[in-house]
């Protein structure tokens, strides 16, 4: 079971931008909160998919050319 995600707020986005060494003003961080909430909701939905024994994509070997 996944732990609940912490709420997205401008301070969280500013901290993430600092970690990535990206410039982000406080005003822009506040504008991005709704968009990032949508992105995180999509990621949460993907994390809940039951993949079973599906191998990661890097394990796929396409041998069409010989």
Are residues 2 and 48 in contact, defined by beta-carbon separation less than 8 angstroms?
A: yes
d(CA 58, CA 15): 31
Chain segment 46-57, per-residue pLDDT in tens: 888 777 787 777
Tens digit of pLDDT per residue, the chain (66 long)?
A: 567 788 899 999 999 999 999 999 999 999 999 999 999 888 888 888 777 787 777 766 777 765
Q: What pTM was computed for the model?
A: 0.62
């Amino acid at each position: 079971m996944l732990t609940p995600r912490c709420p997205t707020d401008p301070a969280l986005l500013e901290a993430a931008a600092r970690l990535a060494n990206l410039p982000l003003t406080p005003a822009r961080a506040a504008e991005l909160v709704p968009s990032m909430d949508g992105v995180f909701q999509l990621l949460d939905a993907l994390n809940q998919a039951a993949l079973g024994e599906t191998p990661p994509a890097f394990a796929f070997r396409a041998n069409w050319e010989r």
